[in-house]
Every structure is written in C-alpha cells, then in structure tokens.
Structure 1
Amino acid sequence: MTIHKEGYTTIALSILFIFILNAIIDYNFENLAWLRWLTYIVSLALFLIVLQFFRNPKRSFTAGEQLIICPADGKVVVIEETEEGEYFKDRRLQVSIFMSPVNVHINRNPISGMVKFFKYHPGKYLAAWNPKSSTENERTTVVVEHKNGTPVLFRQIAGALARRIVWYVKEGDLVEQGKEFGFIKFGSRVDIFLPLGTKVNLQLNQVVKGGITVLAELA
C-alpha cells in the first residue's frame, strides 16, 4: 500500500500540528503525566486516521469493453430512474455510491473512451446522502463516450466534510477504464447516469470497490 499524492500536504500539516501540540503540552504540563500520555494517544490516532484516508492500496482491477466498473469505494445508496438535467436532459438510470471517511477516496474511470463533456460547479456542502446534493453541492460532471457510441455520465459530489474535489481530466481526453480521474477529500459521493434499460449488477446498500466491482453492462 502507498500514500496517494493528494495526501502529501495534508499529512505534512498534520505532522506539524501534532508536533506543536505535543511540544506545548510537554512544556506547560510537565508534571501531568496523564495529560501528556492522553495527548500522545490522541495524536497517534489522529495521524493514523489521516494516513488511512489517503491510502492507495494495490489492486488487481476488473476490465472489460462491455463492462461499467464502479468509479469509487463505498455503499450503493441510490438505484433509480431520474431526470438528468445538465447534459442529457432526459430520463436516465442513476446509481449513487456514498463514500464514508474510512473509504479509499480515489475515483476511477468506469469505462474507456473520450471525454465529451466536463464541467466544475462550485456549490454548497450538504450531506452527501441528501438528494439535493447532486444538483446543489460542489461537484464535477464528466461524460465519457464509449467506442460503441454510448455516453456515460459520472459526477463527483462534495459532502458535508469534503471541501476539495480534485480532477485529472478535461474535454477531448482519451481515458482508460480503471485509471484515476479524480479524488475527493473526506466524506462524499459519486453519481453515475446510464441509459435506461442498462443491466445493473448492484443492489441497494451493497458495498463496492472502485475499479473492481462491476456496476453494469453496456447493451
């Protein structure tokens, strides 16, 4: 397992904060051994939490031209037909994956193809499971067109804790299934919009892994 590049700055700042905090406690409360040990324990726990959040575990990814792979780790919270009003402006099948702070937060391309559309939207920080978060929160929208002509839309959505969305794609890029297209710091959500009639292989509340779990199959 390695640490993702998006974590370097946060980890460095965490180490600096922990060092300063422990130095202050050691200097001002030299005679309170219990307080110093409590600070050491809390500091270690904080460091491990930050470290695990930015982990980048080694994985053997699933691949298949007709497969749509889950773009993120997390739990399936939505499988429903809905109106997609930004790009398609018609009815689509929506699948949403909620990413808790303990999940790996790397986002991966569900299919290979060309990026036909990309847009970043500043916005609110509603809880990621709130239905309005899909249209009101800070988010990105990416549409990748498969070589058979089928477009798949996926959307990074910031949550109540997530304050930074990172993306690595732009319109015109050729992307490869399973490769990173972005990262969301702390709790968040990814929505995928598919053509109606797409065979979805997931169930509500199922726990999935990005780049591994097969989400659906293209017609």
Structure 2
Amino acid sequence: MNKHYPHPILAREGWPFIAISLIVAIVVTALFGAWSIPLWIIAVFVVQFFRDPPREIPQAPKAILSPADGRIVVVEKAMDPYRKVEALKISVFMNVFNVHSNRSPVDGTIEHIEYNAGSFLNAALDKASKENERNAVLARLADGTQVTFVQIAGLVARRILCYAKVGDQLARGQRYGFIRFGSRVDVYLPLTAKARVTIGDKVSATETILAELA
C-alpha cells in the first residue's frame, strides 16, 4: 500500500451522504426495529461507494496508469475531440460498486481543462463520450507527449468533480477528481502507445497499466 496517500479511506465527498444514511438507519431502528434493515443495506452501499483506498504506484517510467477502477469498454484508434488529432483511445467504465475516485494516469502539466454539459446516457455506450456531461483534462508530459483524460457522467451520475487547475503539475496516481454514482473515463494517447489492456479487462486506478509510451 502507498502509505503516503494523503486522503482518508472514505472520500470526503461522501461524508454527508454517509452521515445521513447512518443517522436515518439508527433513528428508524430505534423506532421500528427490524423494519430498518433496508436502510442499513443502503447505508452499507453508501459507505462502500465512497471508499478511497491508497494504491501502489508502478514505477515503469513510460507507463500510462488507469485513472479509475472499472472495466475496459474501448481500446481503439479514435479522434481526440479536444486536440483534434487521431489517438489511441482507452475507456474505463465504472459501475456503482467501483471506487469512484479519479487519479492522474501520468506525470504532467495541465495545459487546458474543458467542461461540457450534456446528457446522462449509460456511460458504457460509445456515444456517451460525445453526448454526456464531461470534463476533459489536457496534460503535457516532460518530453512533450500530450495525453487527454476525460471524466464522463453516467446514467445515474449527476456530479463530476475536478480539483485540478490549468498549470498544475500532476503526479501519477495523484487524486484529481471524483464522479458520483456510475460513470466513465476516456484516455487519449499518442498512436505510438502500446495498449496493455483489452476490452473486458477489470482495472484498478493507479495500479493497472493501461498502455506504455513508445
């Protein structure tokens, strides 16, 4: 485990939701006993959704790390809609049981951040990349390599949080955002990058290597 991860095991974004769900479950238990069981199930779900554990960071210098937990749904050549160049696109779909803390896949400087309002389609669909609410971070590595990673809201997700700002220096594995309740992250890489995952693979934020730069 990364002992230097500077965040609590339960994400701060979830503290109000966790507190409310536990208080309601406790009150209903006191008043109605066993009728509170469904509320305790909900409280357990809320706690597990907002977990935010530390992760071990791979040391491979050319590795592009997964920005999220989930399942690979896209590995293909596609147009990076933010840089207007062809790129290797790798997409990670997060369901409601995955950790939803987003972490930087690279060491780099943020050049631009672009937010777009949109729909809330199932994030596993290809058209979610273009039609859903989304927030793109465009980063440049020390050697000039450009990487784009995009937080995309899903069918249930209603809040994209991004704490990074233009000019910030991101480190691989650094927590930079959060998406509530099911979503997706697209990563656009140079065409020369070699994918290390395939569609259907389960990945872990920071610990899984998505691709390696040439």
Query: Aligned partners of 2:59, 2:181: CA distance in 1, in Å?
Result: 27
1:165 paired to 2:130: no
Question: Partner of 1:33 in structure 2?
Answer: none
The one-letter code matched in structure 1 to 2:134 is R
Question: Partner of 1:32 in structure 2?
Answer: none
Query: Aligned partners of 2:47, 2:104: CA distance in 1, in Å?
Result: 24
> Post-superposition, which runs of at least 4 consecutive aligned residues in structure 1 deviate over 6 A?
none
Listed as ranges, the matches of 1:1-219 within 5 Å are 2-19=9-26, 21-22=28-29, 26=32, 36-37=33-34, 39-85=35-81, 87-219=82-214
The one-letter code matched in structure 1 to 2:109 is M
The one-letter code matched in structure 1 to 2:181 is F
Query: Is the radius of gyration larger for structure 1 or structure 2?
Result: 1
SS of 2:25 mapped into structure 1: helix
TM-score (norm 2): 0.91
Deviation at 1:64, TM superposition (A): 3.3
The one-letter code matched in structure 2 to 1:104 is V
SS of 2:36 mapped into structure 1: helix
Query: Aligned partners of 2:180, 2:68: CA distance in 1, in Å?
Result: 13
SS of 2:47 mapped into structure 1: helix
Query: Aligned partners of 1:149, 1:160: CA distance in 2, in Å?
Result: 36
Q: Is the 8 A contact 2:192 2:213 kept in 1?
A: no
Query: Aligned partners of 1:172, 1:13: CA distance in 2, in Å?
Result: 37
* CA offset digits 1:97-135 (Å, max 9, x no partner): 000100011111000010011011121101101211111
Q: Which runs of 5+ in 1 are unaligned?
A: 27-35
TM-score (norm 1): 0.89
* CA offset digits 1:50-109 (Å, max 9, x no partner): 000001223222233311111110000000111222x21121111000001000111110
Question: Partner of 1:29 in structure 2?
Answer: none
What is the percent sequence identity of the aligned residues?
40
Query: Aligned partners of 2:24, 2:13: CA distance in 1, in Å?
Result: 18
Deviation at 1:17, TM superposition (A): 3.6
Deviation at 1:22, TM superposition (A): 4.7
Deviation at 1:214, TM superposition (A): 0.7
CA RMSD of aligned residues (A): 1.5
Query: Aligned partners of 1:51, 1:122: CA distance in 2, in Å?
Result: 28
The one-letter code matched in structure 1 to 2:149 is F
The one-letter code matched in structure 1 to 2:19 is A
Q: Which runs of 5+ in 2 are unaligned?
A: 1-7
How many residues get paired? 207
